[in-house]
Amino acid sequence: MNVTIVDYNSGNISSVINSFKEVAKDKVNIKVTSDLKRIKSSDKVVLPGQGSFKSCVDALININGLVDTLNEFAINNKKPLLGICVGLQMFADIGYEEIETKGLGWISGKVSKIDNQKGKFKLPHIGWNEINITKDSKIFKDIENKSHMYFVHSYEFVPEDKNVISATTDYSSNIVCSVEKENIFGTQFHPEKSDKIGLKIIDNFINL
Catalytic, out of 97, 156, 180, 192:
192
Q: Contact 154/86 with Cβ under 8 angstroms?
A: no
- Identify the pLDDT of residue 7: 96
- The one catalytic residue in 56, 85, 97, 177 is 85
Position 9 scores a pLDDT of 84
Measured N-to-C along each axis, helices 14-24 and 195-206 cross at an angle, to the nearest 10 degrees, of 70
Q: What is the pLDDT of residue 12?
A: 84
Q: What are the domain boundaries of the chain?
A: 2-206
Annotated active-site residue in 56, 97, 180, 190: 190
CA distance 68 to 65: 5
| 190 is a catalytic site residue | yes
Assign 88 to helix, strand or coil. Answer: helix
The CATH code for residues 2-206 is 3.40.50.880
User: pLDDT tens, 154-196?
Assistant: 999 999 999 999 999 999 999 999 999 999 999 999 999 999 9
Is there a catalytic annotation at residue 180?
no
Give residue 55's pLDDT: 96
Measured distance CA(150)–CA(191) in Å, rounded:
7
- pLDDT number for residue 16: 96
List the chain residues with pLDDT less than 50.
none
CA distances from 169 to 30, 149, 151, 177, 197 (A): 30, 9, 10, 6, 16
- At 26 the pLDDT is 86
Note the pLDDT of residue 119.
85
125 catalytic residue (yes or no): no
Is the whole model's pTM more than 0.95, yes or no?
A: yes
Model pLDDT, residue 58:
97
Is the bond preceding 159 in cis, omega lying within 30 degrees of 0? Answer: no
